[in-house]
Chains A and B, each alone.
Chain A
Amino acid sequence: MAELAIDIGVRAGTFTLEAAFEAGHGITAIFGQSGAGKSTLLRSVAGLTRPDRARIEYGGRVVHDTNKGIDVAAHRRKVGYVFQDDRLFPHMTVRRNIAYGAARNAARPGQPHFDQIVAMLGIDTLIERMPETLSGGERKRVAIARALMSNPQILLMDEPLASLDHARRARIMPYLELIRSETRIPILYVSHEIDEIARLADTLVIVSQGRVVASGDATALFARSDLGEHLGQGSASVLLRAIFRHYDEDHDMMELDLEGYTVYLLGPRNREDMPAPGTALRLRVDSSDVALSLVPRSDISVRNQLPMVIEEIIGDGRASVEIRGIVGLQLVKARVTRRTVEDLGLRPGNTVYALIKTLSFERRLVQEHD
């Protein structure tokens, strides 16, 4: 069921934005280059920018409908907005910042609990500090806690990781995944980083030059071959879904079931991050990390060997081609040289073995998934 339905049109000078899409709960990533209109979209949903034409619905409530003359004021829209630049109140402690939005639902039962949110984001030791004394990553987590504490019906995140370096990003992402699994509200997540999108997005909306190029299930969009120019380097990767079965403690390896075949992953860095058996994980594999073999090989180091039926061989006349094949019901892409294709005599319809090194499933690209 659609938790979120957005249809807006903005025209300002030479800039136009026409966007319409629906999404369920979970993370809906708005992906596009800077200037594509991503932030305008979020601001319109929050009521901070007035679009020329809009119909915005979430949490079972229409907050904006220009046809019916509905335009709920920004402070009554119940959005949790995590701004790119945090916007913590500089004259308040972290505690007062986080509590600021709680006032609007103080009397209601079932509201988010301060201690819970603070613990979830790991900022319990910071709450008496002033924002100016925090690091970038800490500020971000406080901003997220503040947004959650206001008990929003939708969470809007504008490039929440853009201002952080790689190490900090890697530390914040698990929190975002936690929010996604702990809350049932839709999350609109704006980003131009394909890595973040690949890891986090349930639904993907690709925006380019003020219009929606494609929207829908993230895995399905990553599998499409016609979105290469929009996904950029992301088009080289493919998202796979596998069920976690068993942790092999002796070897620190996780065993997953991918379409009836066993896939091995490295164990998580922290033992607390170990998913429960039966949990679906999303794996991202780069097509250049996939090798092909005509027969299964027991004499090489690669543990993951998946039989795959070649569907299509896509080349542009240069040295390498992309081989798209199906493992069970899932798409796998391999980038190999044209020479290899000729030497092995690869044709659509052939069955080959996709060889994927355990190490090429990067740990940070593993995500818990509904």
Chain B
Amino acid sequence: MLTGGELAIIALSLKVATVAMVAALPFAFLVAWALARWRFRGRGLLQAVTTLPLVLPPVVTGYALLVWFGANGPLGWLLREMTGLEFAFRWTGAALAAAVMGFPLLVRPIRLSLEAIDPGLEEAAKTLGAGRLRILVTIVLPLAFPGILAGIILGFAKALGEFGATITFVSNIPGQTQTLSLAIYSLLQSPTGDAAALRLIGFSVFLAVGAILASEWVAARLPSVRKARNG
């Protein structure tokens, strides 16, 4: 079975991926909303920037994060001064890298599901006396939920598997930034690590299949998803 060290790696990976998704979701929803609903100058640019982590070599993204959010980077300095939050060579940096890399995967399904909502429903809600917040909570979020769920699953998977940006940005420090992929990589470099690597690989597969099954199970119990599929 898994050793204590391996369990710690798994726990760290889950923590990094979860924090990454929780932190990225509000931003992803805002960007998806803007892309789906607003026509504004710079919309194309926003779209391009959002897609960038998907097409850039992860090492380049990691380097950009290092330059901007590293100990001496302008945003890294600003955040440290204002909130005390530090990224350099910490698990928070791994979470940031995972969030940035997972961002495009999070935005796209949410945006598609928002675009699929008939604006007429929101008009109907308006005539029934609902303000913006009530429309968001009772109409938009429930109808966009399948997309949000799909985005979270894709983003979470990406966050768990993230390698290039993480290792470039915050290095490969056991207990701090050594997530699943990095640990497997390190174990494969060592002549005695094959068995441990295999156990972690097995767990990765288990996690992936489990996540997909869980999402299917949740989706099948949502009327809005049933509707979206049948329609």
A48 x B126 contact (CB < 8 A): yes
B120 x A75 contact (CB < 8 A): no
Give the docked Cα–Cα distance between A130 and B231 (Å). Answer: 14
Beta-carbon contacts of B121-140 to A below 8 Å, as 1s and 0s? 10111111111001000110
A150 x B128 contact (CB < 8 A): yes
- Selected from B118, B127, B139, the residue in CB contact (under 8 A) with A75 is B127
12 pairs, CB–CB < 8 Å, chain A vs chain B:
A75-B129, A81-B123, A87-B121, A89-B125, A90-B223, A90-B227, A100-B130, A100-B138, A103-B130, A132-B227, A150-B129, A156-B127
Q: Does A80 contact B (CB under 8 A)?
A: yes
Q: Does A104 contact B (CB under 8 A)?
A: yes
A104 x B129 contact (CB < 8 A): yes
Beta-carbon contacts of A78-120 to B below 8 Å, as 1s and 0s? 1111010101011100000000110110000000000000000
Q: Which residue on chain A has the smallest CB distance to residue B118? A: A87
Q: Does A146 contact B (CB under 8 A)?
A: yes
Q: Does B143 contact A (CB under 8 A)?
A: yes
List, in ascending order, chain A residues with CB within 8 A of B134's CB: 103
Top 10 A-B residue pairs of the complex, sorted by shortest distance between their CB atoms: A101-B128, A104-B129, A91-B224, A87-B124, A81-B127, A74-B126, A75-B126, A90-B227, A87-B120, A150-B128
List, in ascending order, chain A residues with CB within 8 A of B230's CB: 132
Q: Does A269 contact B (CB under 8 A)?
A: no
Report which residue of B126, B131, B139, B227 has the largest number of chain A beta carbons within 10 angstroms of its beta carbon. Answer: B126
Report which residue of A79, A89, A90, A104 has the largest number of chain B beta carbons within 10 angstroms of its beta carbon. Answer: A90
A91 x B223 contact (CB < 8 A): yes
Rounded to whole Å, the gap between the CB of B65 and the closest CB of chain A is 39
Q: Does B73 contact A (CB under 8 A)?
A: no
B131 x A91 contact (CB < 8 A): no
Q: Which residue on chain B has the smallest CB distance to residue A76? A: B129
Q: Which residue on chain B has the smallest CB distance to residue A104? A: B129
Q: Does A30 contact B (CB under 8 A)?
A: no
List, in ascending order, chain B residues with CB within 8 A of A147's CB: 127-128
Q: Does B161 contact A (CB under 8 A)?
A: no
Within 8 A of A (CB), among B184-211: none
B227 x A48 contact (CB < 8 A): no
A89 x B139 contact (CB < 8 A): yes
List, in ascending order, chain B residues with CB within 8 A of A331's CB: none
Total number of residue pairs linking A and B with CB closer than 8 Å: 72
Beta-carbon contacts of A147-161 to B below 8 Å, as 1s and 0s? 100100000100000
List, in ascending order, chain B residues with CB within 8 A of A150's CB: 127-129
Q: Which residue on chain B has the smallest CB distance to residue A131? A: B227
Give the docked Cα–Cα distance between A156 and B126 (Å). Answer: 14
Rounded to whole Å, the gap between the CB of B173 and the closest CB of chain A is 46
Binding site for B on A (CB under 8 A): 46-48, 74-81, 83, 85, 87, 89-91, 100-101, 103-104, 130, 132, 146-147, 150, 156
Beta-carbon contacts of B209-224 to A below 8 Å, as 1s and 0s? 0000000000000011
Give the docked Cα–Cα distance between A147 and B143 (Å). Answer: 21
Within 8 A of A (CB), among B149-208: none
Give the docked Cα–Cα distance between A83 and B15 (Å). Answer: 48
List, in ascending order, chain B residues with CB within 8 A of A101's CB: 127-129
- Selected from A100, A130, A132, the residue in CB contact (under 8 A) with B125 is A100
A46 x B223 contact (CB < 8 A): no
Give the docked Cα–Cα distance between A87 and B135 (Å). Answer: 14
Q: Which residue on chain A has the smallest CB distance to residue B135? A: A75
B223 x A130 contact (CB < 8 A): yes
B224 x A90 contact (CB < 8 A): yes
Rounded to whole Å, the gap between the CB of A210 and the closest CB of chain B is 22
Report which residue of A87, A91, A104, A146 has the largest number of chain B beta carbons within 10 angstroms of its beta carbon. Answer: A91
Give the docked Cα–Cα distance between A87 and B118 (Å). Answer: 9
Q: Which residue on chain B has the smallest CB distance to residue A152? A: B127
B127 x A48 contact (CB < 8 A): yes
List, in ascending order, chain A residues with CB within 8 A of B128's CB: 75, 100-101, 104, 146-147, 150
A90 x B143 contact (CB < 8 A): yes
The answer to whether residues A89 and B126 also contact, given A132-B227, A132-B230 and a CB cut-off of 8 A, is: no
Give the docked Cα–Cα distance between A47 and B118 (Å). Answer: 18
Q: A91-B142, A104-B128 are in contact. List 13 more A-B contacts (CB 8 A).
A: A74-B123, A78-B129, A79-B127, A81-B123, A89-B125, A89-B139, A90-B121, A90-B231, A132-B230, A132-B231, A147-B127, A150-B127, A150-B129
Rounded to whole Å, the gap between the CB of A6 and the closest CB of chain B is 17
Give the docked Cα–Cα distance between A83 and B121 (Å). Answer: 10
List, in ascending order, chain A residues with CB within 8 A of B124's CB: 81, 83, 87, 89
